[in-house]
Structure 1
């Protein structure tokens, strides 16, 4: 169509939408990216202290997987930068306005700090003698894991790019399992059934009773976060609506 802006990678679908909203999306995405990277690093340090190579491998999987998932989920809303270098080079190339650049970079730095603090908070409550995470930290971990997974699910859903959902969810889960102390059950049905399971996935009745409410709470927080990224007033039209419009 004449006058319609072509969609390109690392460019938001609507560059005229509110700068604050798009910068907030960059804040959220960078925070989740840093949570995954920091959490995976702390996990690998706790489990593989004598194997630097294995630790780097774990960190690489979590960081790369989470980044792809976040770009899928938030690319339509903000461009999915989560890196000031991308934003600054777009500005230098004349692809982004200065006020947007400043807001994005501020959001990215703020998000990175928030992600580190979140990961540190999840892993700080450790029993150093036995190298085990305390129960309340595991409950908080499940709230974060479930919330972040729902952010990816509904971010992909509302972005209008439905084919990215399964890939993004799989990649994010791989990252979250490595990056959270609870190993990211992030599913009340799975959590409940884990009480009956044998092996590493098994959970006690007490853990199930604490994890499930935490997962529900995390999901509700995620819905509010996604509403910031994709307000209903700017959701992409459904494919069947487009078909009807072209046939009128």
Structure 2
């Protein structure tokens, strides 16, 4: 158990550091070109996510995301106590990742984001991004496909959703601590997480209708 929790904490930390840190670097180098900044942010996130899933999947299942752990609980593939520890490690890890990103760029360690992400369109986007992510997690058939499928979905959703695909309550909380390119205003966090949780319940209800053996407790091995 301790090794699994440590893997979730470290993986979440590195993922958040990549998301936020690449956003800072992209904003500094893009010279006001938002499209270029988003492209750089996407590339770094996709690369880090695929790497972390491959690295930590055999240890913890590479959740790094409370909605994935919640899906495992709903599908009865994970005990509720383990789910609580996973989610706590994910949230703590992501918040520490925000601090690490700030430290690497000589920024104030804790910030309050002013980046507004409100409105129905943003919530629909978050629902869509999270729903699709969980369909990938629940429906992929070969463990070796998980890294590229999950990373591929997130990379695509960065660009076709208006919210740029947070799809992760832990990352959402951490990104409220950074007033940079990747940030989200704290007032908008509850709405985002609500949309993500609604998508989780919907995906868990629909997956059994689509897949003969819906997967639900591990990103890499089908959470079996």
Q: TM-score range by the shorter chain?
A: 0.3 to 0.5
TM-score (norm 2): 0.47
Larger Rg: 1
**Structure with higher RCO (Cα < 8 A, 6+ apart):** 2
